[in-house]
């Protein structure tokens, strides 16, 4: 990747290092609320699978 901090100097290069992908979770209660909105039809059917597969965790703090 090339970048500049100043337009008066040449481009510099930067090495991009891949890092471990961190999976984020939501609270279990929040996921249950979202799934109830799916059941009630408040969330369109096309998005149900997305909400069903959201990772959830009891230790998540919002």
Say how many domains are in the chain.
1
Residue 46 lies inside a defined structural domain of this protein: yes
pLDDT score of 62: 67
pLDDT score of 18: 77
Residue 11 lies inside a defined structural domain of this protein: no
Give φ, ψ of 57 to 5 degrees: -155, 140
Residue 5 lies inside a defined structural domain of this protein: no
Q: 2-44: per-residue pLDDT in tens? A: 888 888 888 888 888 777 766 788 999 999 999 999 999 999 9
Residue 9 lies inside a defined structural domain of this protein: no
Average pLDDT, rounded, for the chain: 88
Residue 42 lies inside a defined structural domain of this protein: yes
pLDDT score of 54: 93
Rg from Cα positions in the chain: 21
Q: Which long-range contacts (CB under 8 A, 24 or more apart) does 29-34 make?
A: 30/56, 30/62, 31/56
pTM of model > 0.85? no
Residue 30 lies inside a defined structural domain of this protein: yes
Residue 31 lies inside a defined structural domain of this protein: yes
Q: 35-53: per-residue pLDDT in tens? A: 999 999 999 999 999 999 9
Mapped onto helix, strand or coil, the DSSP state of residue 13 is strand
Residue 13 lies inside a defined structural domain of this protein: no
31: containing domain = 20-62
pLDDT score of 22: 67
Q: H or E stretch including 28?
A: helix 28-40
């Amino acid at each position: 990747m090339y970048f500049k901090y100043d337009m008066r100097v040449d481009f510099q290069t930067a090495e991009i290092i891949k890092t471990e992908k961190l999976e984020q979770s939501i609270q279990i209660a929040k996921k249950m609320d979202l799934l109830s909105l799916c059941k009630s039809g408040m969330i369109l059917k096309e998005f149900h699978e997305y909400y069903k597969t959201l990772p959830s965790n009891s230790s998540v703090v919002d």
